[in-house]
């Protein structure tokens, strides 16, 4: 197997693994509309993020089928940086799983506040308020290096960043409304996407 084929295989595994992981937790902890007090309505930013994800997905599919189709956006990267992208994806998956383990039934695929919601501040949440979103950036952003394609990588990064920004804004506002001073104190000792020590 030549090196480019290997990276295409790894890129496919990373993306399929990401989708499968999300699907597993959607089935394990389905959203309960009856228990939902408030949930985020998709606004313009979410729609833009979803629109950007379409060409990113098409570009990724084209790259996986035949890299020549996406050669116009390819970058010349040393093998070590592409393996670095694999490392970023691995870190992202580890953080994602750790975050899910800490959140348990508090997790929801779509930002919402539920009647049974508790404030989770252990595991990765001890230092980072939104570690799942950090893992999204690591996993989807890793495609920039693994595929060595700026079109695919930058579209995933921009789409993810736009979506995450709107989710964080909603969640922070609702968590302050729900938990008040306790959440404000938590914000002071934790970072939003990066750990605060």
**Beta-carbon contacts of residue 103 (< 8 Å; ≥ 6 apart):** 120, 125, 132
For residue 42, what pLDDT band results from cuts at 50, 70 and 90?
confident
- List 149's β-bridge partners, or say none: 74
**pTM listed for this prediction:** 0.93
For the domain covering 3-11+41-189, report its CATH number.
Answer: 1.20.120.1630
Domain residue ranges in the chain: 3-11+41-189
- What pLDDT does 17 receive? 97
Q: What is the pLDDT of residues 123-164, one digit of tens each?
A: 999 999 999 999 999 999 999 999 999 999 999 999 999 999
- What pLDDT does 40 receive? 85
Query: Do residues 126 and 50 make contact, with C-beta atoms less than 8 angstroms apart?
Result: no
Q: Is the pLDDT of residue 41 over 90?
A: no
Q: 3-state DSSP call for residue 128?
A: strand
**Beta-carbon contacts of residue 95 (< 8 Å; ≥ 6 apart):** 124, 131, 132, 134, 135, 138
């Amino acid at each position: 197997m030549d090196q480019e084929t290997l990276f295409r295989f790894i890129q496919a595994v990373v993306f399929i693994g990401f989708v499968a992981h999300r699907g597993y937790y959607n089935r394990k902890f389905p959203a309960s509309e009856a228990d939902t007090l408030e949930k985020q309505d998709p606004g313009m930013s979410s729609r833009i993020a979803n629109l950007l994800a379409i060409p990113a997905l098409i570009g990724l599919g084209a790259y996986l089928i035949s890299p020549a189709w996406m050669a116009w956006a390819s970058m010349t990267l040393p093998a070590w940086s592409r393996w670095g992208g694999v490392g970023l994806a691995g870190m992202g998956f580890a953080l994602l799983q750790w975050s899910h383990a800490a959140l348990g039934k508090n997790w929801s695929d779509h930002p919402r506040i539920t009647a049974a919601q508790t404030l989770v501040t252990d595991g990765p949440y001890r230092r980072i308020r939104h570690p799942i979103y950090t893992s999204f950036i690591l996993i989807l952003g890793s495609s920039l290096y693994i595929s060595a394609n700026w079109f695919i990588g930058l579209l995933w990064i921009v789409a993810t960043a736009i979506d995450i920004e709107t989710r964080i804004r909603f969640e922070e506002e609702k968590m302050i409304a729900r938990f008040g001073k306790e959440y404000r104190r938590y914000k002071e000792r934790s970072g939003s996407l990066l750990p605060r020590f």
